[in-house]
Every structure is written in structure tokens, then in C-alpha cells.
Amino acid sequence: MHVKMIASDLKNYLTDSAPFEARVHSIFKDVINLIDHQGELITLISENKMMAPMTLQAPFNRSVVKKMVSDDIVMVTDSKISFKRLNWQLEFISADIWQADFETSALKFDSRIFIECADIIREALLINGDNGGLLPLIKVLEKQLQVEPSHMNLPKNNTYTEFIEEVFITLVNHLKNKEYEMLSNILPRFVGFGPGLTPSSDDFLMGMMITLYLESTINKQDQTRIREMTEQIYNSCISKTTTVSEAMLKNASKGRIASAHRNLIETIYSDCGDHVREKAIAVINNGASSGTDFLFGIYCAQRILLSRAFNR
């Protein structure tokens, strides 16, 4: 079988490290995760899913998924992946390349547009978002950052947000004040928390990281510090959260995220416009509360950037 598309970071990784043996880590309807000898997660997705870092997309079907079991041995070379037991091979020599890194040259940061955009995202969160994760913290976030209250009802606290509220406030204040070196104290009390295979706090951190990362890239400000900060977030989560979550945080710390999420971020850092709402809802529709928590992370970063902009 031929692979349709391969992420550029995966392609580079395989060129450097293959051949090696990996094993099947987890299996879902449209997603198969492999884990390799170095603990890197490599993801296979069907055509029903959108591209993401360290991912390849192939037209596999349910019958393959059903026969697969975890720990199945997989041989990985720089041109193909072979599932020995299933006699199934994926060749990717001729696959299209999906660029895992953002093309930022056409993006911009305009605080006026940014406010407008943050308001739309807020609305999408409150109307379409899932309140099962960290979203109820929007109330304390806005209070901390002195966002003007709106007429919309805010979600009530849940078990998770009650538990994490204080830590969250501290986290937001550190970010707002650019006290990045203080994060290492607070992150162990934050990562890997909440429901889901990727715990809510991790989804939140991903959205927050990528938004700040891009802003610094686009404005060419604080780039080194931001990169150190995202790397630090990733380091704090090692072995404190699930393998899948850890891999996603690693990618996000390098400015790499899934294409559905990227579509939204690109819109935020361009003309905003009507598409933001529909792209935000597309993000919310990922997983149970994962999409909402990711979007809430973006929103948090937006408000932090805006509060800094106004204080200036």
C-alpha cells in the first residue's frame, strides 16, 4: 500500500534514524500509534483524519485495524513501514510531503484584529465548547487579565477546575509577567491533569504554547526565551502524562501542531475574518474536551498578549 502523505518532520527523522524496529502502541478506528526504540511516537492516520506532525496518512481500512494488536512488531526503514505479522507494508517513497513547520512569512500580528478574533473565539468556546475540562476557568482567567465581562453566561466550575484553579491563576500570572523561569515550579502541579487520553491541562498547554511561539516568531521578539519556555514545558511533562500527550507536547514545543489546529492559528495571525468561527468550531469538535481545552489555551495566550499590548 502506498502512503498518501508524510509529515516532513517524520521524513527527516526516518532519514536520520531508520532502519529500526518499532511496535504498535495503541489502535483506534482511524489512528494507529507506533512507538519506536527511542520512545518516539509515530502516527498512522486514515484518510478520515487530518495531517499532524510525525504522522503519515494512508488509505487503510477497518479490517486492518481489527487484526492489529498492540505490541505487534513493525519494521521501519526510510522508505517503508512493514507490519510483519499482518504482512502489510506501507511505502512512502513517492508520498507527498506535508510541511510540519509553519510558514510564518505571510503572517502578522495586529492587536486590533487580535481583539476581534479573541472575542469570536470566546463566543465559540462559550457556545460550542465542552465544559467537562478546563473551560470553566475562563472566569478566573478573565478576572486576572481584567477582560471586560460580557452578557454571556460562564460555565460553572467542575471537579477538575476546582482542584486546579489556584495553580492555574499562578500560571497565568507568570505568563503574563513573562516570568518563564518560574514555570518550572508550577508545571509539575499542572501537567497531566484532567479527563481524557490527552489530559485537559496538556491540551491547554499546547494551545497556549503554539500561540505564544508564533507571536514571538512573527514579531521576532523574545524568540530564544519563548523557545526555552516551550522546551521547559515539554521537559516538565516527561513521564508525568500519557505517552500520546507527551508526544503532542513535544511537537507543539517545536511549533508543530496538527493541521486542523494550524488552520485556525493561521487565521488568527492574518486577517481573522468570518472563517475564524468555523475553524474554531472545527477545533472544538476534536475529541471530547480536548479540542475545547486546546482552544481555551489559544484564547488564554491571546488575552495575555493583549493585556501586555495594552499595558505597553
Partner 1 sequence: MVLYDIRKNAYYDSVTLMLISKEIKQIEGVTEVLVGMGTELNKELSSNLGLGGEAIDGLSPNDFFIAAEVSDEQVMAEVVETVARLLTQKKASGDSVYRPVTLSAAKGMIPELNLAVVSIAGQYAEDEVDRLLEENIHVMLFSDNVSVEAEKKLKQKAVDRGLLMMGPDCGTAIINGIALAFANVVKRGPIGVIGASGTGTQEVTSLIDRLGSGVSQVIGTGGRDLKSDIGGLMMLQSFDALIADPETKVIVLISKPPAPEVAEKILKKVSETSKPVVVDFIGGDLEMIRKAGAIACISLEDTAYKAVAAANGKSADDFAGFEMSDSEVSKIVSQAISPLKPSQKFLRGLYTGGTLADEAMKLLGNQFGGIYSNIPLSPEYELENLNVTGKHTCLDLGEDQFTVGRPHPMIDPSTRTERMLKDIDESTAIVLMDVVIGYGSHENPAGEVADSVRKLKAKVGAPVVYVASITGTSGDPQGFESSKEQLEAEGVIVMPSNAQAVRLVGKMMHALAQKEA
Partner 2 sequence: MSRINELFKQDLKVVNMGLESFYNDLKAQKVETIHMNWRPRAGGNPKMLALLKRLNTKK
> In the bound complex, what is the minimum distance in angstroms from residue 244's beta carbon to partner 1?
7
- The residue behind cell 507571536 is 215
Comparing CB distances to partner 2, the nearer of 23 and 143 is 23
DSSP tag of 180: G
Residue 59 contact among partner 1, partner 2, none, beta carbon within 5 to 8 Å by kind: none
The three grid cell numbers given for residue 69, joined into one nine-digit string = 494488536
Binding of partner 2 by 85 (CB under 8 A): yes
- Applying CB under 8 A, among 53, 129, 132, 255 the residue interacting with partner 1 is 132
Binding of partner 2 by 23 (CB under 8 A): no
CA distance 165 to 202: 15
Binding of partner 1 by 29 (CB under 8 A): yes
Comparing CB distances to partner 2, the nearer of 16 and 71 is 71
Question: By CB under 8 A, which span of 67-75, 106-114, 249-257, 274-282 interacts with partner 1?
Answer: 67-75
- Applying CB under 8 A, among 198, 216, 251, 253 the residue interacting with partner 1 is 198
Question: By CB under 8 A, which span of 63-71, 149-157, 163-171, 261-269 interacts with partner 2?
Answer: 63-71
Residue 243 contact among partner 2, partner 1, none, beta carbon within 5 to 8 Å by kind: partner 1
CA distance 264 to 280: 6
Comparing CB distances to partner 2, the nearer of 69 and 97 is 69
Query: Amino acid letter at 306?
Result: L
Binding of partner 1 by 240 (CB under 8 A): yes
Binding of partner 1 by 288 (CB under 8 A): yes
Binding of partner 2 by 69 (CB under 8 A): yes
Max Cα distance, the chain (Å) = 62
Binding of partner 2 by 152 (CB under 8 A): no
Q: Let me know: does 237 contact 249? Beta carbons within 8 Å.
A: yes
Residues 6+ apart with CB under 8 A from 4: 47, 57, 58, 59, 95, 96
Half-sphere exposure of residue 122: CA atoms within 13 angstroms, side-chain side: 23
- Applying CB under 8 A, among 89, 146, 163, 177 the residue interacting with partner 1 is 163
Own/partner long-range contacts of 28-32 (Cβ < 8 Å, ≥24 apart): 28/65, 29/62, 29/65, 32/60, 32/65, 32/68
In 178-248, at which residue ranges do the beta strands (DSSP E only) sit?
A: none
> In the bound complex, what is the minimum distance in angstroms from residue 207's beta carbon to partner 1?
15
Q: Is-cis flag, bond preceding 53, omega within 30?
A: no
CA distance 172 to 147: 13
Residues 6+ apart with CB under 8 A from 296: 125, 129, 133, 134, 135, 137, 138, 204, 207
CA distance 214 to 149: 27
Question: By CB under 8 A, which span of 54-62, 68-76, 179-187, 295-303 interacts with partner 2?
Answer: 68-76
> In the bound complex, what is the minimum distance in angstroms from residue 287's beta carbon to partner 1?
4
Residues of this chain that bind partner 2 (CB under 8 A): 67, 69, 71, 73, 85
Binding site for partner 1 (CB under 8 A): 25-29, 62, 65-70, 132, 159-160, 163-164, 188-199, 201, 239-244, 287-290
